[in-house]
Amino acid sequence: DTAVSQTPKYLVTQMGNDKSIKCEQNLGHDTMYWYKQDSKKFLKIMFSYNNKELIINETVPNRFSPKSPDKAHLNLHINSLELGDSAVYFCASSQGQGPITDTQYFGPGTRLTVL
């Protein structure tokens, strides 16, 4: 009964390819997020969606395009992959859009390696 799940867990691909990472939450939450964790473990938010509407977009290259088909899913599509995109990508969800006390629940992560 995974609360926030991501697929795939590992993704190895060549530069220039296009790939997608999927995220699903079964918590009934309204808000979902994508974070990037670099090789030094630094975590930074990329996007957040509330009820399928984009709320936060943090100066991410437009090669990254999130898509939310419904409020339980937030997928991340990456075009023309570059070496610097290699990282662990985490999906998260929370009940509300942003009451500052909302707890975010994280998925297990997708390790993307670009060769």
User: At which residue do the structure tokens 């969606």 appear?
Assistant: 49
Cα 108 to Cα 56: distance, rounded to the nearest angstrom: 22
Question: Judged by CB under 8 A, does residue 108 bind other proteins?
Answer: yes
* 7 binds other proteins, rule: CB under 8 A: no
Write the binding mask 62 to 101 for other proteins: x where contact by CB under 8 A, - elsewhere.
Answer: ----------------------------x-x---xxxxxx
Interacting positions 19-38 with other proteins (CB under 8 A): 31
Q: How far apart are CA 91 and CA 35, in angstroms?
A: 6
Phi and psi at residue 71, to the nearest 5°: -75, -5
Min dist. Cβ of residue 32 to other proteins (A): 12
